[in-house]
Amino acid sequence: MYKNQFQQSSIFAAIFKMALHNKYDKQTLRKKLENESFVRKTVSFYRYVIIENAEELRDELYQKLEDIKVLGRIYLAKEGINAQISVPEPNWDSFQRLLFSYTEFKNIPFKIAVDDNGKSFLKLKIKARLKLVADGLEDNAFDVTNVGMHLSAKEFNNAMESPDTIVVDMRNHYESEVGHFKGAIRPDSDTFRDELPMVLKELQSKKDKQILMYCTGGIRCEKASAYLRHHGFQNVNQLYGGIIQYVQEVNQNGLENKFIGKNFVFDDRLGEHITDDIIAECHQCGSPCDNHTNCNNEACHLLFIQCEKCAEKYDGCCSEDCEKFIHLPIEQQRKLRKDKKKGSVRNVYTKGRVYAKNHTYRSI
């Protein structure tokens, strides 16, 4: 009897779980988004706070956010929440009441997108993870709450004027490639995990300097600043709210904008223009361009910068190999994908500066 009850409850739980994710393909979702009669607002937020049961909260939030048509990506972990979402403007008040009803998220600060077309996300995805950001750090080894001083846009600008200040971009190279603060150190990294030891090595002889750190929305700097303080750096500062908040404050208060180019964002927009400067180049022909795209070959899907001419020439692919691949019969494509070990081609190409400069792309 108990065995049958357990089997039934497991089946019901599985059915319930299946309902808590998107069930439509991209084409259907895109058409649905384009037919919406309301405007959406793209917003990001995070908070380091103890969450006792991230899995349970994940399911609860999914149901409630789907009811008010929220789209986007939310990560939950025992250490907190990290979210990038789009909210229908008519449901904005309902969204805030819902989020603030949780003690852990009460009055959490929002970063509103600067250059928003309302098409930043196609679906809602909420995941429970071990950590909010894959940093490779053993958090028990140091005090993660001993973070750097938070600076406003005005304070950050003033600090940049000092000759004893070092500005560090805590984002990946493919982000800083299209936009960054003037004079910033920009590590040639693919991931935040790789970047932390790079930054530590770069700054080892500069512990007497004033360190200014920045990232997209601030979350990476929270962990990175604590990491530097653990390694003996005393004067560690971070841009409050990241680039997104900085631009909002600059515009609202009539401050000088020291950020040039485009701010890379992790949604379908892949970037928001901060200034009209184009400081990057097409990875295929070298012409001025800052438009990131993913290779049209689904077996590759490489993120790279491509101008309109090269997009037409290569059918939106990163290389001649990938262009040839997408024109093969579907069955042959599937067989070739199956024959390739998943991820095996990753070692051929990285998104770092050296490879991008040499236009070295991975092939299928």
Please give the positions annotated as active site: 215
First to last CA, the chain: 54
CA–CA dist 201, 221 (Å, integer): 17
Q: How far apart are CA 168 and CA 344, in angstroms?
A: 32
What are residue 72's DSSP bridge partners?
Answer: 85, 124
- Asked if residue 224 lies in contact with residue 249, where contact means CB atoms within 8 angstroms, the answer is no
Distance, CA of 167 to CA of 180 (rounded, Å): 10
**Nearest 10 degrees: Cα torsion 50, 52, 53, 54:** 10
Q: Cα(222)–Cα(210) distance, rounded to whole angstroms? A: 17
Residue 307, classified by CB atoms within 10 Å of its CB into exposed (0-12), middle (13-18) or buried (19+), is buried
- Cα separation, 293 vs 291, in Å, equals 6
Sequence-separated (6 or more) residues with CB below 8 Å from residue 257: 247, 250, 274, 275
12 token code pair: 């019901």
Contacts of residue 212, Cβ cutoff 8 Å, sequence gap at least 6:
151, 156, 159, 160, 165, 166, 167, 168, 237, 238, 239
Look at residues 54, 100, 104 and name the one whose alpha carbon lies nearest to residue 74: 54
Q: Which residues pair with 211 in a beta bridge?
A: 166, 236
Residue type for 109, please? Answer: P
Please write down the HEC assignment for all residues of 30-59: HHHHHCCCCCEEEEEEEEECCCCCHHHHHH
